[in-house]
Amino acid sequence: APAAKPLPGYASFKNADAVIVHSSTTIETKRSAFGSSVVTPTNQLYVRNNLPTPPESIVADRDAWKLQIDGVKKPRQLSLAELKTMGLETVTMVLQCSGNGRGFFPSKPSGTQWTVGAAGCVVWSGVPVREVIKALGGVADGMVYMTGTGGEVLPAGIDPKTVMVERSVPLAAMEDALLAWEMNGEPVSLVHGGPLRLIVPGYTGVNNIKYIKQLAFTAKESEAHIMSHGYRISPPGSKGDPSQPSVQEMSVKSWINSPIPEDGNQAAGKVQIQGVAFGGMNAVKGVEVSTDGGKTWKQARLIGPDMGKYAWRQFVLQAELPKGTYRLASRATDDKGNVQPETRGENQSGYNNTSWADHAVTVTVA
């Protein structure tokens, strides 16, 4: 096996034993590192940067960070210090890259070959976007999108639209969105978007803009390439374009984190089959577990605290497993009755893989 890549400098605080470094801008949590305690520790959370990380200096004086708000009745710039006076809310949510599970596509789409670890369950605190907008007189007439722009300084000499991280989500997403300065009880680290990050619960990672410098209510979607052509559900063999659905809302998904093949052979007898399940926009209602590759299913038990509909739930099925080989699978259902599908939705870039069959593992009990 090739030697593990070292952690990049900006992420040197990460627990090297708990992550897989794919590249200098993509770091995945190991499936064996998720544990059973709901919240993903910051030093194990995945990283995905579309551009190089901004300099550490942007988190030197956090309260001085400026956010421009446009497309409201009274557009203006607000400092983080001012935002902190305008409201406070906490939301626990699954942050998951649009391409999590891409590594299971047999077509091997280009991009990071994430399996399950481009996701985590994270606690965010900040001011609700709706509070800020209310204070600025409300959304201007005719605006139907909320568009966030990342604070990266773009390389000179190229059309900014080709590289900038700017994403539009439907206005309705504003309802539960936060401008967050705290993550898992600490000021948001630079790598995860400090000093200020837009959090759009239930939406895939890319819609959660780090180091946000502008929040605009707009009549049209952003024309940045990452919005118009990137992160589109394109039919296999085709290129992304604005007519295809954008990768936005997440849907019901689960996977098993223990036992897994990485842990080696399991001892025969009592086994606690456990994993995580989430509903994306909806709460998880239940999870079934199969030990025979999906032929038969048993209801698992949700364990641990329920941290709200955007968080994931831990589940466990206690099983008695004699020696043998088992194909372990999990299948979640949300509270609207949506069931995690057996198959992935084929698409060119390997987005939104929720297939329970793809996420199943083969474990040997000896």
Q: Which residues bind ligand MSS (CB under 6 A)?
A: 45-51, 95, 97-99, 150, 152, 165, 192-193, 204-206, 208-211
Tokens of 287: 């999870």
Min dist CB 239 to ligand MSS, Å, is 18
CA 360 to CA 363: how far, in whole Å? Answer: 10
Is 19 or 329 the residue whose CB approaches ligand MSS more closely?
19
- The DSSP result for 250-288, as a single string, is ---EEEEEES-GGG-PBPSEEEEEEEEEE-TTS-EEEEE
Is 166 or 288 the residue whose CB approaches ligand MSS more closely?
166
Query: 244, 97 in Cβ contact below 8 A?
Result: no
Is 132 or 227 the residue whose CB approaches ligand MSS more closely?
227
Query: 213, 68 in Cβ contact below 8 A?
Result: yes
Other CB atoms within 10 Å distance of the CB of residue 111: 17
Is 34 or 315 the residue whose CB approaches ligand MSS more closely?
34
Token match 């209310």: residue? 134
**Residue in 52, 27, 29 with CA at minimum distance from that of residue 39:** 29
Is 49 or 266 the residue whose CB approaches ligand MSS more closely?
49
Min dist CB 23 to ligand MSS, Å, is 13
CA 317 to CA 319: how far, in whole Å? Answer: 6
Min dist CB 266 to ligand MSS, Å, is 31
Min dist CB 159 to ligand MSS, Å, is 17
Min dist CB 137 to ligand MSS, Å, is 27
